[in-house]
Structure 1
């Protein structure tokens, strides 16, 4: 797939700016070889990093240690040492240097289907290229010009993402989850006798969705010339064609426009700079950057701030004007005002969350996981959430069941306004899904297993013959959104049309009834990717039963027609015979082989399957004992949720397994796999940053201890406390309808407190309970063991 989008100039288009000679550059004749030079640089770094060595001028506030992750080792070639910034519309990765474009080389590659070298990219939600002919998908996310980072020039030396690590000291890069900002500090000693102290402060605005901001503070140890360069780096582009590139030194502005390959969609990146007054701007000949030459005085600090607007034809009829307006408006407001508004938006998000007293490790993992999810979604957007959010082009930025099954339930419990983007994405794609079904001569709606925003079927193999359990999970998410929010109007206009259209498609897909009096699904495939095709996959067939039930309920609530065949299919859908008492075989003919990821066990959660003789407990144990531990990072979260109901002694083990093997330093983001590949048949290396796994881990913490289920007409709670949390667990902002609750789970008792909205009624083992303002409800907490 990578070869279908050649960028012959992607790694060769980076030009060096004109060399500037500093006043204090050492005479190379005095150097007695490279070893002596490195020794002198090391001495400079030690002296420069000593307390009081420089006049204070780097004003970035120190973040709360409990809400931040720190890298103290400059590792430019470690792709996991690149922090992620995002606001749900713009996503970008920063290299350890503090900004700019860095390619990690061919040894470090992305996941299916691109399998290309990793790099620090910037992505805009909804901005996709037309894929080359493929049997599975039609769109691939495009990458924009690199906007972050300033290059710094001292004499012939330049500070870039590829700077020599031997010249870097006093290094510290901090990702503050609470403020969604990255601060990078370093002392750069390019030559003996010359050192420059640097501080980059970067954020992608949550308050202004098309704005990113970066401030650089430079404190040199010498007096002379300094060059700071603002550029938009074409080397970061992927699957785009340049439209325009120009620099306007009078207005301190650099502009780059690109068109997504195979489309008419364009995106523009506009950078505008506040530089020290005595800086002299000079445009690069190719228009991709501006040098700001400044005569500096030793031990004084100089600040350069860039305001970057990013927009596309998805957001504005004139994206260049929109991007320019965002940049200039940000500049007019100023760094402090922009940052304050940005932090205020994140503070609102962080009012909700999960706290585990006494478990600093879990609190750190929770914050990192929730940050990676929240950075990938925003209310009101037209797009769903991809497996790696907007952090990379792993999985080509396509939408999978990850969004509906693994990410959606986490957002629904805490942020229903964000969860709505996922269900609305399916609703907006309904006309295309209907056209997909018609293309195969079928009624209803057919959604592709993997594709971009267009949601077009590329071929029968990638659409109608594999991973069709997806349709049941899409329908379930639509129904859960209605049950959780009670939004009947949304159900009428969006949710019910999707659910019933899926039911119409499945009715045709499984019919007619066979001579045994049952409906059969063939060919098909479940979630277990070690089995591409099968007959009567248990998860798919059991999901059909659920879809037929909720389709009838949604239709009755909204006045849509109810197909009488739905009830017949629900009552007579075939299931494969049991492979063990109470345990249906994964598919017809399954004999106990290892499985890649949770499949049949999903019948119990998120579905609530209850066929004759079915045992959720036995199914949990049978299949999790056969799940590949090297498979993708999602399964154990469901193990935690199911074990909380059926085998609570194992809940903590599943929770630990859902996070510990996958978290990677220094920023505690999650990988898709424990190793380099997510399963024996994985294509490419495991995905990073794996938002699906982060959301799965959070889903386990939200639904296992609470026993939360979105049952109609009221949700059900059955709290228990995992044995690894002796001091309890608190969920702040559990959303039910238009209200929010605080759920305090302690060893003996669980307390539900209404924190906003109207009274909330829940179903519990002690009966129906109503939580009102000033009248919390107490429930017994089940023991884990």
Structure 2
């Protein structure tokens, strides 16, 4: 019989989930009024000049921004992603496939199921045929990938420009065509995307082209995951002849459960003469949406035939045209998407794509590239390790492709994909938000404002359980903010409550970085106050021990799903309570004295004999070969940063290393950042660099486009949680910087991985000012941090 722990573990690779100090000498800080005193004297003049050169805009041809697929990747192709935070699509190796696409917070709410991202009609595809031959009639997108058919193949993801370009010579039984495809999802015009196809036939004759909107069928089978127990869930999967294991090269485990939701097309139109398509739709029990395309033809080309094709699964513009050998013909397919609350209907989208077609592909691409170039002003530039540079740029690219500026929309752990059903975890607040905060604060704010927007849902959830304040969901719906943990893993929604502290701590971090008192009063403070009330009512007074304890929680090391006094949870709760009191002082608001009482008497497990923290209450045996091994490294995450004396910090690290290094579980990419940051706080550059390097060598970076997966074997991709962790390793771990009330404080000595010569964080934002921050080697070989005002304007 399958037990509860096993059934929950099947749901999420982080077992137990569903498918998831000492202060250094102060006095050196960066605030909004000035620079760090005295550090530049340690840096040679030539090195300073090199750092200045790094602040110049990067070239679009810089190899640190280019990722390439060749024909050798056909059998192991892991798709990349094109997105702008509002919507995204996956890629295909031909560059012309119709691919699944998703919009932010556009969810399916089918009865009995959890909410899940509704796939919008696929827009990226353009199909091509050379017509009938003695061998038959073939369409490009249906021909098997074969290096003998797709010769001189090369697909390049340009991270700097946000474009995907594919080139090859397509040989259709003796009729060859040179093909080039370029696709993008616009960063400048968020509703727009485009695919441009250029063909150069090596023959005279008639060709056929199809420009479809792919109307995805509802996924079958659907499971009532909001109602099924763990045992029933696994039985249902098996009864449908499905598996929860990963299928190479890119299908994730739990794909049988992480299918896309349904968008029902309500009305579709096509005009062959105008070369346009449009539709209105609605997600199952969810929001309305709209989509439109307009096709641009090569100058002077008059189709022999143009018609609209309709079926239950496809709405397309079909063209036939006569072509001449050696001539290049360029087509463009412009698309516009919108949904209720973001844009208009099909008529409005049709106007957008007609205008985009009128302006032309070059203008749309130029504005898009300029928008990406502006984003890349805030960058992390590494000298001495080209592979690390490409990895960092790819993680920044995927993160920026899945978050929005100036909204209150969050990010799921796997961004705009069905991974983890698009739900919002603590990943949003503790992993992604800090990585964005210094480089892209306008996007970081969207993540914390999501918690302000969904505060009423969290308050209602607390009331239902007889608690005060706000109890944020473990798995939050990105639109409504409601709990969406599957019934098979319901225990996590009730017990993995550290998410509430993570939410409050992130609110305070945004205040520290922005200095925006009006925001704190209107957005951050209501959340922090409600979370503090929650912890004050959730903690239990134990009279015989004269202390508060937090009982019946799922540890951050999730194999332990019913423990008292999880150390990470208690430390985080204490900090949330303390920060609420600080926020009240800043705003002149009354602070509940019970917050300070609970914080001051909350039990933090410590082994008095050996002198190190425990993962949780000593009454719980620490005897499971878990995914993390130990959660103690989480205590040094930059937003939490538990104060410890040097001896305790070292003892905690040594204690945590044994179960972590001896674990037989697949390495989880989420756990690498805390170890690297921990080693950096100890001043151990070699260990910090080695843990960072494992981001590249542990099998969690999938070729050819550096898609980060959760583990080497589960194929849970676009795992932006771990991308955020990697970026934090550099931004806070290697720099030693922390956000505190005085600004960006040098809390720990900087470190450099042994292979690196230097690195620079460009255009760092702090309280309205911008800085470039460099860590390099001084004359004595030690890492030295310097800061200077950034070039240019915001």
Question: What TM-score results when the alignment is normalised by the length of structure 1?
Answer: 0.81
Partner residue in 2 for 1:525: 554
Question: Could you say if the C-alpha distance between residues 86 and 186 of structure 1 is closer, same or farther in structure 2, counting changes exceeding 3 Å?
Answer: same
Residue 464 of structure 1: CA displacement?
Answer: 5.4
Partner residue in 2 for 1:72: 70
Bigger Cα displacement from structure 2, 450-459 vs 415-424: 450-459
Contact 1:582 1:613 in 2 (8 A): no
Contact 1:604 1:616 in 2 (8 A): no
Partner residue in 2 for 1:770: none
Alpha-carbon distance in 2 for matches of 1:754, 1:605: 27
Alpha-carbon distance in 1 for matches of 2:646, 2:464: 39
Question: Could you say if the C-alpha distance between residues 613 and 225 of structure 1 is closer, same or farther in structure 2, counting changes exceeding 3 Å?
Answer: closer
Q: 1:365 aligns with which of 384, 387, 391?
A: 391
Partner residue in 2 for 1:83: 80
Q: 2:173 aligns with which of 180, 186, 191?
A: 191
Q: 2:509 aligns with which of 473, 480, 505?
A: 480
Q: 1:249 aligns with which of 269, 272, 282?
A: 272
Partner residue in 1 for 2:209: 228
Q: 1:258 aligns with which of 266, 281, 284?
A: 281
Alpha-carbon distance in 2 for matches of 1:233, 1:484: 44
Residue 282 of structure 1: CA displacement?
Answer: 1.1
Alpha-carbon distance in 2 for matches of 1:244, 1:382: 30
Question: Could you say if the C-alpha distance between residues 613 and 714 of structure 1 is closer, same or farther in structure 2, counting changes exceeding 3 Å?
Answer: closer
RMSD: 2.4
Question: Could you say if the C-alpha distance between residues 347 and 145 of structure 1 is closer, same or farther in structure 2, counting changes exceeding 3 Å?
Answer: same
Partner residue in 2 for 1:436: 461
Question: Could you say if the C-alpha distance between residues 551 and 186 of structure 1 is closer, same or farther in structure 2, counting changes exceeding 3 Å?
Answer: same
Question: Could you say if the C-alpha distance between residues 87 and 320 of structure 1 is closer, same or farther in structure 2, counting changes exceeding 3 Å?
Answer: same
Residue 75 of structure 1: CA displacement?
Answer: 5.0
Residue 65 of structure 1: CA displacement?
Answer: 3.0
Determine whether 1:319 maps to 2:319.
no
Bigger Cα displacement from structure 2, 685-694 vs 572-581: 572-581
Question: Could you say if the C-alpha distance between residues 78 and 142 of structure 1 is closer, same or farther in structure 2, counting changes exceeding 3 Å?
Answer: farther
Bigger Cα displacement from structure 2, 568-577 vs 420-429: 568-577
CA offsets, 1:592-643, max 9 Å, x none? Answer: 3334236232223332334799822222232243234624212121111121
CA offsets, 1:203-254, max 9 Å, x none? Answer: 0000000000111001111111111110011237742222223321122112
Q: 1:310 aligns with which of 310, 320, 337?
A: 337
Q: Give the secondary-structure state (helix, strand or coil) at the position aligned to 2:156.
A: strand
Partner residue in 2 for 1:540: 569
Residue 283 of structure 1: CA displacement?
Answer: 1.0
Partner residue in 1 for 2:102: 123
Question: Could you say if the C-alpha distance between residues 253 and 726 of structure 1 is closer, same or farther in structure 2, counting changes exceeding 3 Å?
Answer: closer
Counterparts of residues 40-439 of structure 1 (less than 5 Å):
63-73=61-71, 75=73, 78-80=76-78, 82-101=79-98, 120-133=99-112, 138-156=114-132, 157-166=137-146, 167-192=149-174, 194-235=175-216, 238-240=260-262, 241-263=264-286, 265-276=287-298, 277-279=301-303, 280-286=305-311, 288-316=315-343, 318-390=344-416, 392-439=417-464
Q: 1:668 aligns with which of 674, 687, 706?
A: 706
Alpha-carbon distance in 2 for matches of 1:348, 1:596: 39
Residue 549 of structure 1: CA displacement?
Answer: 0.5
Q: 2:776 aligns with which of 726, 733, 746?
A: 746
Partner residue in 2 for 1:31: none
Unmatched runs of 5 consecutive residues or more in structure 2: 1-6, 8-58, 219-259, 779-783
Q: Give the secondary-structure state (helix, strand or coil) at the position aligned to 2:356.
A: helix
Alpha-carbon distance in 2 for matches of 1:700, 1:464: 29
Q: Give the secondary-structure state (helix, strand or coil) at the position aligned to 2:383.
A: coil
Contact 2:473 2:481 in 1 (8 A): yes
Q: Give the secondary-structure state (helix, strand or coil) at the position aligned to 2:696.
A: coil
CA offsets, 1:263-304, max 9 Å, x none? Answer: 2x1212211101133123211143700111111111111111
Residue 564 of structure 1: CA displacement?
Answer: 0.6
Contact 1:268 1:320 in 2 (8 A): yes
Contact 1:377 1:418 in 2 (8 A): yes
Alpha-carbon distance in 1 for matches of 2:646, 2:369: 53
Residue 658 of structure 1: CA displacement?
Answer: 3.1
Alpha-carbon distance in 2 for matches of 1:756, 1:187: 44
Contact 1:444 1:503 in 2 (8 A): yes
Contact 2:501 2:576 in 1 (8 A): yes
Q: 1:605 aligns with which of 628, 634, 637?
A: 637
Q: Give the secondary-structure state (helix, strand or coil) at the position aligned to 1:484.
A: helix
Contact 1:76 1:97 in 2 (8 A): no
CA offsets, 1:485-523, max 9 Å, x none? Answer: 111111000001101101101111113454321111111
Q: Give the secondary-structure state (helix, strand or coil) at the position aligned to 1:232.
A: strand
Alpha-carbon distance in 2 for matches of 1:490, 1:474: 16
Residue 752 of structure 1: CA displacement?
Answer: 1.0
Residue 74 of structure 1: CA displacement?
Answer: 6.5
Alpha-carbon distance in 1 for matches of 2:168, 2:77: 19
Determine whether 1:711 maps to 2:733.
no
Q: 1:467 aligns with which of 463, 488, 496?
A: 496
Q: Give the secondary-structure state (helix, strand or coil) at the position aligned to 2:499.
A: helix
Alpha-carbon distance in 2 for matches of 1:219, 1:67: 28
Partner residue in 2 for 1:623: 656
CA offsets, 1:728-782, max 9 Å, x none? Answer: 2211122221112111211123321112699xxxxxxxxxxxxxxxxxxxxxxxx
Contact 1:582 1:615 in 2 (8 A): yes
Alpha-carbon distance in 1 for matches of 2:646, 2:376: 44
Alpha-carbon distance in 2 for matches of 1:424, 1:170: 48
CA offsets, 1:644-681, max 9 Å, x none? Answer: 1114141111111233322221112211112x1xxxxx
Partner residue in 2 for 1:490: 519
Alpha-carbon distance in 2 for matches of 1:338, 1:210: 12
Alpha-carbon distance in 1 for matches of 2:587, 2:736: 29
CA offsets, 1:299-337, max 9 Å, x none? Answer: 111111111000011313x42233223212211211111
CA offsets, 1:441-481, max 9 Å, x none? Answer: 22211111112221213589356522111111111111001
Alpha-carbon distance in 2 for matches of 1:715, 1:67: 29
Alpha-carbon distance in 1 for matches of 2:494, 2:751: 42
Q: How many residues align?
A: 665
Contact 2:474 2:499 in 1 (8 A): yes
Determine whether 1:451 maps to 2:486.
no
Residue 572 of structure 1: CA displacement?
Answer: 0.4
Contact 1:584 1:614 in 2 (8 A): no
Partner residue in 2 for 1:681: none
Question: What TM-score results when the alignment is normalised by the length of structure 2?
Answer: 0.80
Partner residue in 2 for 1:762: none
Contact 2:177 2:201 in 1 (8 A): yes
Alpha-carbon distance in 2 for matches of 1:75, 1:146: 24
Contact 1:203 1:213 in 2 (8 A): yes
Residue 78 of structure 1: CA displacement?
Answer: 3.7
Q: Give the secondary-structure state (helix, strand or coil) at the position aligned to 2:763.
A: strand
Alpha-carbon distance in 1 for matches of 2:143, 2:562: 50
Alpha-carbon distance in 2 for matches of 1:568, 1:388: 39
Unmatched runs of 5 consecutive residues or more in structure 1: 2-60, 102-119, 677-684, 759-785
Alpha-carbon distance in 1 for matches of 2:348, 2:534: 41
Q: Give the secondary-structure state (helix, strand or coil) at the position aligned to 1:146.
A: coil
CA offsets, 1:344-403, max 9 Å, x none? Answer: 11001111111111211111111111111111112023311111212x211111111111
Q: Give the secondary-structure state (helix, strand or coil) at the position aligned to 1:620.
A: helix
Partner residue in 2 for 1:596: 627
Contact 1:275 1:305 in 2 (8 A): yes
